[in-house]
Structure 1
Amino acid sequence: MDRKVMVVSVAVGFLGLLSAALAFAAEATRTKVSDVQTRRGGECVYPKSPALALGLISALALMMAQAIVNIVAGCICCKKHPHPSDTNWTIGLIAFIASWVSFIIAFLLLLTGAALNDQRGQERMSFRDYCYVVKPGVFSGGAVLSLASVALAIVYYVALSSKNAQSWGADQNQGGIAMGYPPQANPVFVHEDTYNRQQFP
């Protein structure tokens, strides 16, 4: 594997793990029903929670990982490939689409969970006199999908990089074969009388 591919894969993988870890931390520190206090007059008192900051940083790390892969590798839909049936190209295309789908869902889950968890101070009761809190599993789902998105992005990048390396190697081999066999001139046949005339004028 190329050194550049290794460095990019490690960096993107680290950001993906960071995003998932922060999302799981946000899930553990989110505001729960037992943390909310109710007062007379229909007011819900929410405690402070770091889930908002954790969710936003997790979404930011995921966005950075996705941006790095797509900037370095480029969009596979914008590139022309002479053999669309190639295995690496097919794997890269599937991983590219699945990575973007999982990224969008994970990003929305993380932002939604962070926004809904941003309940501070006193709020009026809503939803049939219930204090609203983030449902369990929102941040966890975002964490799992962020890992899937980053893993698929790495697969897409590695598959695309290996395809480019194979194409470059094939071009080099063809160039070496062409240089190894210099062009030969067509043979010229001379009649026997020509030599006789030169020797015996």
Structure 2
Amino acid sequence: MAKNYGFIICILVMVMDIVAGILGIEAEKAQNKEKLMKMWIFECRYPSYQAFKLGLAAVILLSLAHTIASLLGGCICVWSKDQYRSATANKQLSVAFLIFSWIVLAIAFSMLIIGTLANSRSRKSCGMFNHRFLFIGGILCFIHGLFTVPYYVSATATKREEKRQDSLATAVRRT
């Protein structure tokens, strides 16, 4: 049964990222249904409570998907270039995917938060930057899943490799 957990975790993380992406895109649609406000040269929309709720749900799901993959994948650390070059292919992949997933998370999270806060009921002013943040954040949720799942797979493979090497080294020392 333990062998199936990795597959289930990968599916769970992908589904959460896909749902977060869909919610971000739906939040953008809900925002675009609101009336336009015009103030001199600025055009923006009234805040949409539906877009706020959908954006907030997308932020929560994106964060949860990243947290699950990072915690269950474990910490694969490389402290120098030499250590990276001498690492196994799985370890190099896990480090690369971890870095890319954090970069995409930071950008997607920022975009979704900006779009969500723009739809907050307490918003009184109209700003210039209210264009497509929820949509872009939603698209980046899909990309986040494409980096996070391979990170989890390569991190668990790295842990298995290290465990195998440790047991081999122990067996060699005993003989």
Alignment TM class, shorter chain as reference = 0.7 to 0.9
Q: Is the 8 A contact 2:26 2:54 kept in 1?
A: yes
Q: Is the 8 A contact 1:31 1:47 kept in 2?
A: no
Q: Is 1:89 aligned to residue 91 of structure 2?
A: yes
Aligned to 1:154: 149
User: What do you get for the CA RMSD once the two structures are aligned?
Assistant: 3.4
Q: Is the 8 A contact 2:31 2:47 kept in 1?
A: no
For the structure 1 residues 38 and 3, does the alpha-carbon distance in structure 2 shift closer, same or farther, using more than 3 Å as the test? same
Q: Is the 8 A contact 1:45 1:120 kept in 2?
A: no
Report how many residues are paired.
167
Aligned to 1:25: 26
Aligned to 2:60: 60
For the structure 1 residues 96 and 37, does the alpha-carbon distance in structure 2 shift closer, same or farther, using more than 3 Å as the test? closer
For the structure 1 residues 119 and 89, does the alpha-carbon distance in structure 2 shift closer, same or farther, using more than 3 Å as the test? same
Once the two structures are superposed, what CA deviation does each residue of 1:23-47 show, in whole Å capped at 9, x if it has no partner?
Answer: 0101111146x713569xxxx9937
Q: Is the 8 A contact 2:47 2:120 kept in 1?
A: no
| Structure with bigger gyration radius | 1
CA distance in 2, matches of 1:48, 1:105: 23
CA distance in 1, matches of 2:172, 2:77: 33
Gap regions ≥5 residues in structure 1? 184-201
Which one-letter code corresponds to 2:159 in the other structure? N
Aligned to 1:100: 102
What TM-score results when the alignment is normalised by the length of structure 1?
Answer: 0.68
Q: Is the 8 A contact 1:116 1:133 kept in 2?
A: no
For the structure 1 residues 48 and 107, does the alpha-carbon distance in structure 2 shift closer, same or farther, using more than 3 Å as the test? closer
Q: How does 1:159-198 map to 2 (within 5 A)?
A: 159-171=154-166
For the structure 1 residues 139 and 118, does the alpha-carbon distance in structure 2 shift closer, same or farther, using more than 3 Å as the test? same
Q: Is 1:140 aligned to residue 135 of structure 2?
A: yes
Gap regions ≥5 residues in structure 2? none
CA shift at 1:153, angstroms?
1.4
Q: Is the 8 A contact 2:111 2:133 kept in 1?
A: yes
Q: Is 1:7 aligned to residue 3 of structure 2?
A: no
What TM-score results when the alignment is normalised by the length of structure 2?
Answer: 0.77
Once the two structures are superposed, what CA deviation does each residue of 1:8-27 show, in whole Å capped at 9, x if it has no partner?
Answer: 11111111011001001011
Query: How high is the sequence identity, in percent, across the aligned residues?
Result: 21
